[in-house]
């Protein structure tokens, strides 16, 4: 009885000792797969691209839309949901700093436009990749010749062969 307990204890120690190394090597294998690295690159590029789209929306599109609609400043379009304290300017930043709850619908509109532009650009990219993939896909392998056709060809070839 004591012998089996001792063997079980040794096996448990071996498993515990090998488990962290096995897990680390498994993690290394997982982290070095192409998909994980591709995902990391995609996240980094996506973050940088998001900043570009933010700039396009905030610095180019929304000022033009505001000018066309009537000199609206979208980021500063809001409704104060409480009475602002005295001597606090009636701007979005000042009211937020003063702790006044605000309904910032202009900021929401800017972010919604940002999302629509980003989603449209991603749609165009995926569409382009799908077209490229369709062009580069190899043609399917021709179907294997049926057995009866093979036999008929052999008969034909043997009949055409010169007789000795």
**pLDDT 10s digits, 65-124:** 878 877 677 777 888 899 988 888 888 889 889 999 999 888 888 888 888 888 888 888
Q: Which domains, from first to last, does the chain contain?
A: 11-138 (1.10.1200.120)
Q: Which of 50-54, 140-144, 151-155, 156-160 has the lowest mean pLDDT?
A: 140-144
- Matching residue, tokens 């929306």: 57
CA distance 18 to 105: 57
Question: How many helices (H) and strands (E) are present in the chain, helices listed first?
Answer: 6, 2
Mean pLDDT of 21-28: 78
Give kind and range of the element (H or E) at residue 21: helix 2-31
Is this structure's pTM higher than 0.75?
Answer: no
């Amino acid at each position: 009885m004591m012998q089996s307990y001792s063997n079980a204890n040794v096996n448990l120690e071996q498993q515990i000792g090998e488990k962290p190394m096995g897990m680390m090597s498994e993690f290394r294998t997982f982290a070095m797969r192409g998909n994980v690295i591709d995902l990391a690159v995609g996240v980094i590029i996506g973050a940088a691209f998001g900043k570009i789209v933010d700039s396009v929306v905030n610095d180019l599109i929304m000022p033009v839309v505001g000018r066309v609609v009537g000199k609206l400043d979208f980021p500063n379009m809001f409704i104060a949901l409480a009475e602002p304290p005295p001597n606090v300017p009636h701007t979005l930043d000042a009211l937020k700093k003063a702790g006044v709850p605000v309904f910032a619908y202009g900021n929401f509109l800017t972010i919604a436009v940002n999302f629509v532009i980003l989603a449209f650009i991603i749609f165009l990219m995926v569409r382009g990749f799908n077209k490229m993939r369709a062009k580069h896909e190899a043609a399917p392998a021709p179907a294997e010749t049926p057995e009866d056709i093979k036999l008929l060809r052999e008969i034909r070839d043997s009949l055409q062969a010169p007789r000795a």
